[in-house]
Structure 1
Amino acid sequence: MLDHITFGVADFERATAFYDKALAPLGVSRVMQFDEGAARVVGYGEGTKPYFWLQNAAATQGPLHVAFAAADRAAVDAFYAAALAAGGIDNGAPGVRAHYHPSYYGAFVLDPEGRNIEAVCHTP
């Protein structure tokens, strides 16, 4: 089981502003932040458990795809709208992706640094 993921972002302020808005419809928010001089890290999660971390460091290079679980299809739609409003770029509008399975409902956006971020619901 995956416990958490951390990646570096080139523009910490822009990235955190994007994720603050894009993840809110999924019930995911900042739950921890460390600012120690130039080292800045923020952890997103639910309750008190962070599992998605951004670090003010050299941007992680190469393709990166992160999928967040959504409670229902309306949350996927809300994520997509919020992410686009926060500066994300469409990478796949909300819809069924039957090639994964008949109830796979997902939406994809590119974050401000080009990472593929998804919200997905697996129930009909």
Structure 2
Amino acid sequence: MRLYATYGTNDLSRAIKFYNAIFSVLELPRLPGWTKDRAGWGTEPDDGTGFWICTPFDGNPANGGNGTMIAFPTQSAATVRKFYAAGLAHGGTDAGAPGTRDYYAPDFYVTYLRDPDGNKLSCFHYHYDPARDPGD
């Protein structure tokens, strides 16, 4: 599947700092096509996915949608923790610290953040083994 996702922002330069930080943890490069009102990260459109931020086209303020979230998979619980720390250090807010949750499978390690505009993000790792990775 090839797709892209977009979140709105009210302060593009602030959002770029936040997303540069979390996407560097996930090793997702910037995409070409940046303009004065949008920026993107991911893979080339013909090869995969992309994530974009922009000022809303309708001119109204951007806001986080209730029940709306984008989740990014990763290969380790350590990367989930780095994602969370990078997000908090660059203007994000906590929406759920890294760890397992009783309502998911015990090997599902996840964290939740809100970006500086209130958009919800998640980073997760399947097949978590606390005996092999007790955390930082």
- TM-score, normalising length: structure 2: 0.78
1:96 is displaced (CA, Å) by 1.0
| Identity level (%) | 33
Distance 1:21 1:61, change over 3 A: closer
**Are 1:116 and 2:115 an aligned pair?**
no
**Alignment RMSD, CA only?**
1.9
| Partner of residue 62 from structure 1, selected from 62, 65, 83 | 65
CA distance in 2, matches of 1:88, 1:60: 14
Query: Which residue does the alignment assign to 2:110?
Result: 106
Q: Tell me which residue corresponds to 2:91.
A: 87
Runs of 4+ deviating beyond 4 Å: none
Q: Which moved more, 1:82-91 or 1:59-68?
A: 59-68
Secondary structure in structure 2 of the residue aligned to 1:117: strand
Q: Distance in 2 between matches of 1:113 and 1:60?
A: 6
Q: Structure 1 or 2: larger strand share?
A: 1
Measured after TM superposition, the shift of residue 53 of structure 1 is 1.0
Residue-by-residue CA offset, 1:53-74 (whole Å, 9 max, x unaligned) = 1112242552231111112111
AA aligned opposite 1:79: F
CA distance in 1, matches of 2:34, 2:82: 29
User: 2:131 matched to which residue of 1?
Assistant: none
Structure 1 contact 98–104 (Cα < 8 Å) conserved: no
Cα distance in 2 between the residues matched to 1:96 and 1:85: 22
Which deviates further from its counterpart, 71-80 or 50-59?
50-59
Uncovered stretches (5+) of structure 1, i.e. residues with no partner: none
73-82 vs 4-13, greater mean Cα deviation: 4-13
What is the count of residue pairs matched by the alignment? 120
Shift in Å at residue 2 of structure 1?
5.9
Report the AA paired with residue 34 of structure 1: W
Q: How much does 1:45 deviate? A: 0.7
- The answer on whether the counterparts of 2:63 and 2:119 sit within 8 Å (CA) in structure 1 is no
CA distance in 2, matches of 1:75, 1:61: 24
